Chain A
Amino acid sequence: MRTDLPGERHEWLDDDAGPVVRPYTLTGGRVRSCADGFDLVAYVLAKPNPDLAAYPELHPEHRLLVELAGRGTPVVELAADLDLAVGVVRVLLGDLLSRGLVAVQQPPRATYLPDNDILKAVVDGLRAL
């Protein structure tokens, strides 16, 4: 799926940057998605018992996403599990969202959440690890 473009150079490409890729082949070149705003730790929840056969246009990666999101899984874990870049996963999630196959739960804004109970639970939990 990934293809190196050995001929192309950019001044900001060097050893610190990863390989040059065409990661958006899977998305048909789409880089924008209605899932763009989703946080790395937003939970994706698949619709229970989705009828994927009704959507022949979906890629195997879409189907895997629905499967992985059955229990509710954050965007970043989906990307790691599928070994796909986060940006690609967001585009695929947008496709699933627009078909009603997944729902996304954004995390609470840390500016007003978590409250003190949560912070205390985190400290206690870390101490107990």
Chain B
Amino acid sequence: MDSVRYDADRRGRRVPIALKILIAGGFGAGKTTLVSALSEVRPLQTEEILTGAGVDTDDISGVETKSTTTVAMDFGRITINDDLQLYLFGTPGQDRFWFLWDELAFGALGAVVLADTRRLADCFPSIDYFEQRGVPFVVGVNCFDGSQRFSLEAVRQALDLDPDVPMVLCDARDRQSGKSVLISLVEHVARQRGEAVSAV
């Protein structure tokens, strides 16, 4: 791993490189489940504060009287080695929390969009979001019990996905399955940069 660069502060303390991966998808698609299955720490939650819609945050004079609320974000961590950590963030499911996505997506390595074949259309907004912003993503087709089995090709057509966007069947409850989804994402990112990391 000595080829991996790391940053050190002026006193020589090494700071790992932290890479963000977003876990998106419609309501109930398995985002929290996937983050929990993959995280090495107990599933963590953090909160972001929302102030009222359209609040002018430059004007802080009256802020204490404004009601605010918080949105929970799931996050998990995978330590690759001393110099590299992956942070997984489950995106808030509700459309109106989308401005949080911009913060989450900023500088992200890529995203996993979980698709529930019982409600495929629910993941359209996530796909649109990442396509528009040029964030590399893969689609994980989450196999819920009792859901009809579709061929991946049928799902690809229904989602109108680019042919080069990888699709993977997965079970968000299963760590190995989640791992292979992340691997296909990282390989996809590498391919997009024209540097395949493995011969697939």
Q: Does B183 have its Cβ within 8 Å of any Cβ on chain A?
A: yes
* Closest partner residue, chain B, to A128 (CB atom): B80
* Closest partner residue, chain A, to B63 (CB atom): A29
Pair B46/A109 contact, Cβ less than 8 Å: no
Q: Chain B residues near A117 (CB, 8 Å)?
A: 3-5
Q: Does A88 have its Cβ within 8 Å of any Cβ on chain B?
A: yes
Contact of A72 among B13, B50, B81 (CB under 8 A): B13
Q: Does B31 have its Cβ within 8 Å of any Cβ on chain A?
A: no
Pair A31/B63 contact, Cβ less than 8 Å: yes
Tally of A interface residues using CB under 8 Å: 59
Pair A120/B197 contact, Cβ less than 8 Å: yes
Interchain CA distance A121-B7 in the complex, whole Å: 16
Contact of B15 among A45, A86, A111 (CB under 8 A): A45
Pair A119/B107 contact, Cβ less than 8 Å: no
Q: How many A-B residue pairs have CB under 8 A?
A: 182
Q: Does B132 have its Cβ within 8 Å of any Cβ on chain A?
A: no
Task: Choose, from B86-94, B114-122, B139-147, the stretch at the interface.
Answer: B86-94
Instruction: Please encode chain B, from 38 to 73, with 1 for each CB lying within 8 Å of some chain A CB and 0 for all others.
Output: 000000111111111100011010011001111110
Tally of B interface residues using CB under 8 Å: 66
Pair B18/A123 contact, Cβ less than 8 Å: no
Q: Does B19 have its Cβ within 8 Å of any Cβ on chain A?
A: yes
Q: Does B189 have its Cβ within 8 Å of any Cβ on chain A?
A: yes
Q: Does B190 have its Cβ within 8 Å of any Cβ on chain A?
A: yes
Show 21 residue pairs from A and B whose CB-CB distance is below 8 angstroms, ordered by the A residue: A8-B67, A10-B69, A11-B53, A21-B49, A24-B49, A24-B63, A39-B107, A40-B87, A45-B9, A72-B15, A85-B49, A88-B49, A105-B7, A114-B109, A116-B190, A116-B197, A117-B3, A119-B186, A123-B186, A123-B190, A126-B183
The 10 nearest A-B residue pairs measured at CB: A125-B80, A41-B18, A18-B70, A87-B49, A85-B47, A8-B67, A116-B195, A17-B69, A119-B190, A120-B197
